Amino acid sequence: MICMIKPFKFATIPRIIFGAGKLTELYEIIPEFGNNVLFVIGGKSLKQSGTWNEIVENMNKKKYNFSQVSIREEPSASRIDKIAAEYRTKDLDVIIGIGGGSVTDAGKAISAMIPHQDSIKNYLEGVGTKRPDGNKIPYIALPTTSGTGSEATKNAVISKVGEDGFKKSLRHDNYIPNIAIIDPELILSCPPSITAACGMDAFTQLLEAYVSTNTSPMTDSFAYSGLRYMKDNIIPACTTGSNDVKVRTAMAYGSLMSGICLANAGLGIVHGLASPIGGFFEIPHGVVCGTLLAEATKLNIEKLKEKGPEGRPALKKHAEVGALIAGKESFKQGKMYKYLNILVRTLEKWTENLEIDKLGDYGISEDDFDKIIQKSGLKNNPVQLSKEDIRLILKNRL
């Protein structure tokens, strides 16, 4: 029996260069764009690992002109505006972001705003009134964490933390990096706590994309592929396998797939909550996703069960992930509930074993739930949830 494929759209992806040791190809790629380079890097990890010194040595050897700015926290509109203004007259040929999700997003935003005599706030979704035109400085992304998948997406998340805080996107198809170089050796020095939060973020993106209401056969194949590699490596990456390049390669691949999937299938309630929580509180995005994933998945499954036959297709997809975790590529119809339970129990076990912080560790209380829920989203969640349902997810991770 041939199933009908519903219409779908699929965004462009970057030119991808993947594999251990691929950082060295960067120096051969730069001349494709020109000789004048701006590096966007993190606060200290790249320098502490010795990689930055290696990059500087190679850039000097090639006689490339380059400068560098550091992003030490999630990028804000004021920080992006300041950097864009400083480098607007520098006649840059290419921007290279080497770091975690915040660095990658900052690099995208800087490349997009340098050609515009304007504040990025005016172009943020839900904040500004102007639409980006896609004009940018060419951009190359090299992730040093396995988490957001930002190296494969068309948006840059900009944050403002506080009572009037937000996490909003600068978005245009052209803002996808021109090239993404994913070198797992760059991730070897990532510490366990960051590896855990980033890994849970990537797994959340893969799972939410796989069960999304906007899924397609293409996103399903990418998500399932990423889940297959991440399921056995997320714990080792934070423990005994942290220095194993094979483990880090699997995590880097899963993260890359998660970025491709979220850009095309959308995400669910976990990321619908992560945006307002991250706007109101100083809490890492990966921690929000990691701490909510098991509870949100459990409640989604409960609500899908209540829907009877209507909820069965989405339940089956959840069970397929549970079966994959259990080492099964398929399962008999009568075993679906078994694998749903395996999925939930595994996510709960990961949350505990990886020691993912709770919301209360960042000053969040029940008094904050109403404002969080008011700004939360359910756009591609597999089942509708009430305000009380969402409140329960938050309460169980307080």
The pLDDT value given to residue 59? 97
The pLDDT value given to residue 184? 97
In single-letter form, the type of residue at position 32 comes to E
Average pLDDT in the 176-187 region? Answer: 97
**pLDDT tens-digit profile of 74-107?**
999 999 999 999 999 999 999 999 999 999 999 9
Q: What are phi and psi of 92, to 5 degrees?
A: -70, 145
In single-letter form, the type of residue at position 146 comes to S
Average pLDDT in the 272-284 region? Answer: 95
Q: What are phi and psi of 14, to 5 degrees?
A: -70, 165
Average pLDDT in the 335-361 region? Answer: 97
pLDDT grade, residue 334 (50/70/90)? confident
Is pLDDT of 1 > 60?
Answer: no
Structure tokens at 199: 């890994």
From the list 13, 96, 8, the residue with the least C-alpha distance to 263 is: 13
Average pLDDT in the 14-31 region? Answer: 97
Better-scored residue on pLDDT, 16 or 11: 16
Domains and CATH numbers, the chain: 15-187 (3.40.50.1970), 192-396 (1.20.1090.10)
**pLDDT tens-digit profile of 309-326?**
999 999 999 999 999 999
DSSP 93: S
Q: What are phi and psi of 160, to 5 degrees?
A: -135, 125
Structure tokens at 123: 């172009």
Average pLDDT of every residue of the chain: 95
- Kindly report each contact of residues 116-119 with a partner whose C-beta sits within 8 Å and lies 24 or more positions away, as own/partner: 116/84, 117/88, 119/77, 119/81
How many Å apart are CA 398 and CA 389, to the nearest integer? 15
In single-letter form, the type of residue at position 229 comes to Y
Give pTM, 2 decimals: 0.95
The pLDDT value given to residue 2? 63
**pLDDT tens-digit profile of 129-154?**
999 999 999 999 999 999 999 999 99
Q: What are phi and psi of 253, to 5 degrees?
A: -65, -45
Burial 61-74 (b: 16+ CB within 10 A, else e): eeebebebbebeeb
Adjacent-strand bridge partners of 17? 181
The pLDDT value given to residue 31? 97
